[in-house]
Structure 1
Amino acid sequence: MEQKIEKLVQWLQDKVKEAGLNGAIVGISGGIDSAVVTHLIKRAFPEQSLGLIMPCKSNPHDQQDALKVVESSGINHLVIDLTSTHQTLFSQIEEQLKQTSQWNEKAAKLGDANTRARLRMTTLYAVANNFGYLVVGTDNAAEWHTGYFTKYGDGGVDLVPLVHFTKGEVRELAVALGVPEDVITKAPSAGLWEGQTDENEMGTTYNMIDKYLKGEEVPEEDRLIIEKLHNQSHHKRELAAAPPKF
């Protein structure tokens, strides 16, 4: 893992140099993936890296875990609370939607969550512009394959260093990098609503997705879920579709 870490650090340095920029920024959620990326960019750019903590209707424990990652990595950080900004924006959206005949409370709940992810992306780029940094994403191989990320939210980034690493491999990276133990072992969650976990929402486990990605046999039910998630999310992994030139 240390060799892979060295290669990832070199790759990050190369991509920032190619872009003619100064360093890198990441949103620190308090989860394992962002913790690993935080440690990586701090290694790659000891003096020119930044972690951004962006509470937005969030569980206070997530911010506490994010601060543990700041401490373990030694990265400079800012805290920008987006709760009131999100409330102002989404309350207006919701008010107008409720006046239509197609108001869908379940869909609105997801829209609320995705809007938070996109506000965080907007905030990351505003801060990145100030420092001349690239925005580094946190999606791992399982999330990328299944589309378990918000398009133009946590998927709206410049670099995705973990995209070829399974969730199990991300845990190995976390141990090697010195990520706090309770961050490594906490249940993966996007923090979308109270009690939300990634695996409950996807309908399968990261362990099953990891096995599938490695070509190992998984139960038929899990295989069908994984393939359905992958097929439904093709658009998330591609640039905006354009027609052929007429």
Structure 2
Amino acid sequence: MQTEKVITHIVDWLKDYAENAKCKGFVIGVSGGIDSAVTSTLCAKTGLELLCLEMPIHQGENQVTRADKHIDWLIENFPNVYRQSVNLTPVFDSLVDAFPKVDKEEERFMSLANTRARLRMTSLYYFAALKGYLVAGTGNKVEDFGIGFYTKYGDGGVDLSPIADLLKTEVYEIGQVLGVNQDIMEAAPTDGLWGDSRTDEDQIGASYPELEWAMQMDDTEKTTNDFTGREKEVFAIYKKYNKANKHKMIPIPICEIPTGLK
């Protein structure tokens, strides 16, 4: 990958899009992970205003620390960047208390994890409307178009996606050239939705390089039976997520009314 040229291309694309949309800049949720670190830095390089939001919800201290350090680094290097912290933990807890109880708490774990992402999306759009900004998404190609590893109308609810055509390994390449803090570069990817230390690989059962391989194999119309051992296991994991999350990756179904019925 021609990393420097890719960086320039994305920065120019972001700036052109914002100017054509008559928006003053961007708002982004900074989580302490590589995707938000790279995306926020690319937005900062446009020279347009960038609001970095921290939105902890029972967040692990290490994630908060990495996010803080990254935003500090952005502010030191880009005069157009500023920060805002919004503690969503009390909001989340109040919402959980308002929901009816269930017999088994584990039954609603996934719903509550996705609720965290949707509260953050609501916060991002509050500030976007207030400031005249665009909400910048942080999803990469594998998450957005391979396994659908994001929350519908949560972190999937954005105005534009600067890195959605980049594989995770390519995002790391860009992060290295941009000078993203080493603690972020070395941290295991996590969606931060569970309030514990589980990583993306813990949840999915495969690493991002493995998933990138499976995505490439799927493009060649391979099937699970074409592989053995770990490759067969990884490809099956990829296909399972790709099928289950297809509803996130295609347009919303519309019930078209026959002309004769109108």
Measured against the shorter chain, the TM-score band is over 0.9
Aligned to 2:214: 212
Structure 2 counterparts to residues 11-22 of structure 1, below 5 A: 11-22=13-24
Which letter does structure 2 place at the counterpart of 1:212?
A
Structure 2 counterparts to residues 21-100 of structure 1, below 5 A: 21-44=23-46, 46-74=47-75, 75-93=81-99, 96-98=100-102
1:242 is displaced (CA, Å) by 1.3
Distance 2:104 2:254 in 1: 29
Alpha carbons 1:72, 1:178 under 8 Å: kept = no
Distance 1:13 1:245 in 2: 40
Which letter does structure 2 place at the counterpart of 1:85?
V
Q: Indicate yes or no: 2:127 matched with 1:121.
A: no
1:35 is displaced (CA, Å) by 0.3
Which letter does structure 2 place at the counterpart of 1:200?
D
Aligned to 1:141: 141
Distance 2:206 2:147 in 1: 11
Q: Give the structure-2-normalised TM-score.
A: 0.87
Alpha carbons 1:125, 1:135 under 8 Å: kept = yes
Q: Which has the larger radius of gyration?
A: 2
Alpha carbons 2:60, 2:197 under 8 Å: kept = no
For residues 108-160 of structure 1, what are the alpha-carbon distances to aligned partners after superposition, in whole Å with 9 as ceiling and x for unaligned?
11111111100000000001111101100111111111011000000111111
Distance 2:155 2:62 in 1: 20
Distance 1:240 1:213 in 2: 23
Of stretches 118-127 and 222-231 in structure 1, the one that deviates more from structure 2 is 222-231
Q: Indicate yes or no: 2:161 matched with 1:166.
A: no
Q: RMSD over aligned Cα, in angstroms?
A: 1.6
Distance 1:105 1:24 in 2: 38
Alpha carbons 1:189, 1:198 under 8 Å: kept = yes
Ranges in structure 1 where 5+ consecutive residues have no aligned partner: none
Q: Secondary structure at the match of 1:77?
A: strand
For residues 34-86 of structure 1, what are the alpha-carbon distances to aligned partners after superposition, in whole Å with 9 as ceiling and x for unaligned?
00011010001x34111101011111221110011112222311100000000
Aligned to 1:6: 8
1:106 is displaced (CA, Å) by 2.5
1:193 is displaced (CA, Å) by 2.8
Aligned to 1:234: 246
Aligned to 2:112: 112
Q: Secondary structure at the match of 2:39?
A: helix
1:15 is displaced (CA, Å) by 1.5
Ranges in structure 2 where 5+ consecutive residues have no aligned partner: 76-80, 221-226
Distance 1:232 1:155 in 2: 16
Aligned to 2:177: 176
Q: Residue 201 of structure 1 is aligned with which of 179, 200, 203?
A: 203
**Percent of aligned pairs with the same residue?**
34
Distance 1:245 1:13 in 2: 40
Paired positions, count: 239
